[in-house]
Amino acid sequence: MESVGLFPVLAVSAVLFATGVGGVLTRKNALIVFMSVELMLNAVNLSFVAFSRHSGLVDGQVFALFVMAVAAAEAAVGLALVILLFRNRVTVSLDDLDLMKG
């Protein structure tokens, strides 16, 4: 990857991260918000791997693996919450969840 360099990879990562932030802020379907969070986690992973390749150490890749494990845990608990929510309120729209008047 010497032909590409570090910056283009980090730019791709930044664009993906911003896309994920946009999804979290604009969508109201809880599932799509979750998927946007996954997109942001993947953008960060790409940065980790790019820096790892740049520095020649595998530590960044180890961190990427940790991020994946935490993402798996987050997805399991989050989707359980969504199922519980749907069972109680018959909706997954975040706009309808105003019980706490937030």
With CB under 8 A as the contact rule, the residue among 53, 89, 97, 102 that binds other proteins is 53
Tokens (6 digits) for 4: 């590409």
What phi, psi does 29 have (nearest 5°)? -75, 120
Task: Name the packing angle between helices 30-55 and 59-89 (round to 10°).
Answer: 180
Task: In angstroms, give the least distance from the CB of 88 to other proteins.
Answer: 12
Residues 6+ apart with CB under 8 A from 94: 28, 29, 30, 33
List the beta bridge partners of residue 93: 29
CA gap 4, 9 in Å, rounded: 8
Task: In angstroms, give the least distance from the CB of 90 to other proteins.
Answer: 9
With CB under 8 A as the contact rule, the residue among 44, 59, 97, 101 that binds other proteins is 59
Residue nearer to other proteins on the CB measure, 29 or 97: 29
Q: Is 37 in the site for other proteins (CB under 8 A)?
A: no
**Residues 8-27 close enough to bind other proteins by CB under 8 A:** 8-12, 14-27
Residue nearer to other proteins on the CB measure, 1 or 98: 1
